[in-house]
Amino acid sequence: MEREDIIRIVDGLRLIEEGVEKIQGVMRDKKIKSLKDVAAELIPIFKEDDDSLTESVINRLS
């Protein structure tokens, strides 16, 4: 591995850590105990969605 590869890996790990902290913050605020519980809450929301939330999520991930 070259120096640039290591830097990119470390940057990716930093992004993962930030994402985990955001998820944990929401879970703590909403008193959600597991990712299974998160999924249980998200699935009905996406099923009822008028596609605007789904589109927003897809755009955010792109």
- Residue 45 · residue 53 · CB < 8 Å: yes
Q: What is the predicted pLDDT for the residue at 52?
A: 80
Q: What is the predicted pLDDT for the residue at 14?
A: 97
CA distances to 4, 5, 20, 35 from 32, rounded to whole Å, are: 38, 36, 14, 8
Q: What is the predicted pLDDT for the residue at 5?
A: 96
CB atoms within 10 A of CB 9: 11
Domain ranges of the chain: 1-31, 32-62
Q: What is the predicted pLDDT for the residue at 24?
A: 95
The segments of the chain whose pLDDT lies below 50 read none
Q: What is the predicted pLDDT for the residue at 20?
A: 95
Which pair of tokens denotes residue 62? 């792109």
CA–CA separation, 45 and 36 (whole Å): 15
Q: What is the predicted pLDDT for the residue at 34?
A: 95
pTM of the predicted model as reported, rounded to 2 decimal places: 0.68
Q: What is the predicted pLDDT for the residue at 17?
A: 98
